[in-house]
Structure 1
């Protein structure tokens, strides 16, 4: 890790945890050079990366300011925030699930039109792995992602594929929490099997409906768990 990398990570972490609040101005270049005992080049490189990552913006003859990265950042910004905070707020989670409902339900319907016998065998094996590892959250999360990812690939929509892949860290965060809940594994497997049956008979409407059920089941269970804790955030253990 270079000095610029360490400066970038240190400043990014400080921004995310609120040391530098939204809309506040970062310390001057001179102050940052002294703080990190670094060259101006290393500090400038770190600032450039913060700009590229969606955390700050530089205003000519004024300075560098923290932006409202939660609302104005990119997917990559969200992923970085998630990795640092290890939490996701309920509103962001709802937005994520709404997006998944809009994209994955259609993807499942499209997948039913494109699926081959080899794909059915692959998905069947994934569900077998879920069944055999019902007590392992880690293995359930992995199998869940592979199941949904295969369906996204079968949809044939390249943009959906790219977006889904970029969401992987957020997806894994959500599903790890989901599978820690009582009955989550059993209900998920039951609904996955329903989706696979629809895909097997190439029932596009049935596949789309089954995917909707899967996603709504996940959202319902997670929101109920958050509500029981009295918190407004989902915390990763």
Structure 2
């Protein structure tokens, strides 16, 4: 029996072809953020396809985060940002952590690589407002010592604020997502009791190093802080 030719053309699903055309319209700027997509009927008439194929293409675009599908209304193009792009990884990231718990250690290691570097960058790019905001967040966390939920929220806000100083939205979005994935995976298991003073002291040292413009010190203290956190079960 002759083998199949490597040049053989495979028939594509209609929904894939519709997806490609709509995707190209978004990428080219023909359809911009907030614009409504053509109606199902319009696309059916224009391209000579059936409603199921159009709906399947719309669902694929929705699953990618490119459009919002609303029943009874026209689907619209979403604003695309680094944050919305990274959000598309949320589901698979949570599943990955659930089915293979050892990946949590890999995620914590990746977070450390990002945040140590971001602390170093923050020390070279910080403004007076950046430093003031960080000190305010440390104070908020200090005031929230008796409230675990508020304490953890302030902790996450502190790290997110350092990430933002980089001015790099892609790196910031990735680092912020990693922190949230770790927190969500252990959101009912966090144990802060007895570690509040150490956490607050380390945060203060990090801010002091950033304020002084000492990149190496900021990176070193951040590494110590994250190593300690990683060594305590079920903490972020």
Which of the five TM-score ranges fits, normalised by the shorter chain? 0.5 to 0.7
Tell me the distance in 1 between the aligned counterparts of 2:174 and 2:160.
11
More divergent stretch after superposition (192-201 vs 202-211): 192-201
Tell me the residue number matched to 2:197. 186
1:209 aligns with 2:220: yes
Would the aligned equivalents of 2:97 and 2:103 in 1 still touch at CA under 8 Å?
no
The Cα of 1:45 is off from its aligned counterpart by: 6.8
The Cα of 1:194 is off from its aligned counterpart by: 1.2
The Cα of 1:47 is off from its aligned counterpart by: 7.3
Number of matched pairs = 167
Output the aligned Cα RMSD.
Answer: 3.5
**1:163 pairs with one of 154, 174, 178:** 174
Tell me the residue number matched to 1:34. none
1:1-237, aligned counterparts within 5 Å? 44=56, 48=60, 52=64, 76=87, 79-80=90-91, 87=98, 89-167=100-178, 169-173=180-184, 176=187, 179-222=190-233
Encode CA deviations 1:143-194: one digit per residue, 9 max, x unaligned: 1121111111112333211212444541432574674243232221121111
Tell me the distance in 2 between the aligned counterparts of 1:111 and 1:191.
16
Tell me the distance in 2 between the aligned counterparts of 1:122 and 1:143.
12
Higher helix share goes to which structure?
A: 1
Give the TM-score normalised by structure 2: 0.58
The Cα of 1:220 is off from its aligned counterpart by: 0.5
Tell me the distance in 1 between the aligned counterparts of 2:222 and 2:199.
11
Would the aligned equivalents of 1:138 and 1:176 in 2 still touch at CA under 8 Å?
no
Greater Cα radius of gyration, structure 1 or 2: 2
Tell me the distance in 1 between the aligned counterparts of 2:187 and 2:128.
30
Tell me the residue number matched to 1:25. none
Tell me the distance in 1 between the aligned counterparts of 2:97 and 2:148.
17
Say if 1:181 and 1:141 are closer, same or farther in 2 by CA, change over 3 A. Answer: closer
Tell me the distance in 1 between the aligned counterparts of 2:155 and 2:97.
20
Say if 1:142 and 1:52 are closer, same or farther in 2 by CA, change over 3 A. Answer: same
Tell me the distance in 2 between the aligned counterparts of 1:84 and 1:42.
29
The Cα of 1:93 is off from its aligned counterpart by: 1.1
